[in-house]
Amino acid sequence: MSGPGMVPIGPSYPPGYTGGYAPPSGAALGAPFDAYGNAAVQPPSLLPPNAGAYPGYGGGAAPHGAQPGYGPGYPGGQPGSLFPNGFSLGDYFTTAPGPYQRFFQNTGMTYTYLDGHDGAELGLNEIDIHTTAFFPRFLGIDSPLYVTPGFTFDFTEGPSAPVASDVPGALYAAWLDFGWFPRITPAIGADLNVRVGVYSDFVAVNSDSIRITGTGAADIILTPTLRAKVGVTYLDRVDIKMLPYVGFVYHPHEYAQYDLIFPKPRAAWYLTTVGAHNTAVWWYVGAEYGGGSWSIDRAQAPLAGFADRLDINDIRTFIGLEWRCQQGTAARGFAEIGYVFSRELEYYLVPGDNVSLNDTFMFRAGFAY
């Protein structure tokens, strides 16, 4: 039985991480990108046999994932069409004609839970909702543009005594994400991702609430199964503004995929195919630099009433299962458990208020269509 290509799901691109998910559309100059896995127009040298859509290159996280997600690719069955004759916005955004074009896709939700140890530490319940608009020919180039609006709710528990902190009970993020993966030559392309958002407790809303994050990296095809990624990821945290974005994407065959890219490595292996919809199941392991940054209203003296900026930083390792329907529907989902360490609360106004947190465990699951 063939092992279908894997396309991670989650928020359209995990913040700033485009990973190894850009479609390898440059096997030849002008080679068209088929979002729905038509092997007749895909560069055959980059595809293992029977892989369906571009394995691991769905167009965009994100694990993260993330996370942190990602491209369309529906081998074995096309989705219903909202725009059967194509969709256009002047000369700048043009979709390819055809009966199978779907304008909105990758609509889904991700839920993350971090245990708070009975309130003495920081517990977290995060809900992320998103959808993606897809433009196959951005600026007339055969490289799709992914535009993803989303909203994230973070509901916190603690920390409580003896750990003092000013973490609000609710944090919010409204964001718009852009991902573009042009090919410059058949061997050299780019992973470009920019996310603009408002991150706040919605009490202290100011210029610090507006954050721009993203990734810019070269995507270099070394062999039909190996490509290199070299660039930077801009995080815009209180202390850590930028990290290198460096590594390799190795897809030796249709049963395994290795996205060995710092700061979000991930390795995945095909497990089985089940069900009437020919659902492919993969298992994977990975890691990521997690957390976020928000503008907040301080509640404790002597800074009560002052606007500040809060970072929640941590490192997450995880193992999980991912499944993807390959016939009749575009539904897919994942579930994973993980261990979270190097946790800290970091404030901008008074670094002495920073708090180190104990390690904890994580559960994360999501679905998309």
Tell me what pLDDT residue 328 has: 73
Question: Residue range 44-64: average pLDDT?
Answer: 30
Tell me what pLDDT residue 356 has: 87
Evaluate whether 232 touches 215 at the Cβ level (below 8 Å). Answer: yes
Residue burial 33-68, b: 16+ Cβ < 10 Å; e: rest: bbbbbeeeebbeebbbeebbbbbbbbbbbbbbbbbb
Above 70 in pLDDT, residue 5?
A: no
Domain ranges of the chain: 44-368
Evaluate whether 248 touches 261 at the Cβ level (below 8 Å). Answer: yes
Strand order, beta sheet including 93-94 = 88-89, 93-94, 137-138
Tell me what pLDDT residue 350 has: 77
Report percent pLDDT > 70 for the chain. 69
Tell me what pLDDT residue 160 has: 67
Tokens of 356: 């180190």
Specify the higher pLDDT residue, 129 or 100: 129
**Pairing assessment for the beta strands 104-114 and 123-135 based on DSSP bridges:** antiparallel
Above 80 in pLDDT, residue 33?
A: no
Tell me what pLDDT residue 171 has: 96
pLDDT 10s digits, 332-359 = 999 999 999 999 999 888 777 788 888 9
Q: The whole model's pTM is what?
A: 0.73
User: How many Å apart are CA 199 and CA 15, to the nearest integer?
Assistant: 13
The CATH code belonging to domain 44-368 is 2.40.160.40
Q: 302 falls in which pLDDT band (50, 70, 90)?
A: low
Tell me what pLDDT residue 119 has: 62
Evaluate whether 168 touches 155 at the Cβ level (below 8 Å). Answer: no
Report the mean per-residue pLDDT for the chain.
74
Above 90 in pLDDT, residue 125?
A: yes
Q: Which of 78-87, 188-197, 221-230 has the lowest mean pLDDT?
A: 78-87
pLDDT 10s digits, 213-263 = 999 999 999 999 999 999 999 999 988 999 999 999 999 999 999 999 999
Question: Residue range 113-120: average pLDDT?
Answer: 79
Above 60 in pLDDT, residue 67?
A: no
Above 60 in pLDDT, residue 4?
A: no
Q: Which of 31-45, 123-137, 351-365 has the lowest mean pLDDT?
A: 31-45
Q: Which of 68-72, 201-205, 229-233, 283-287 has the lowest mean pLDDT?
A: 68-72
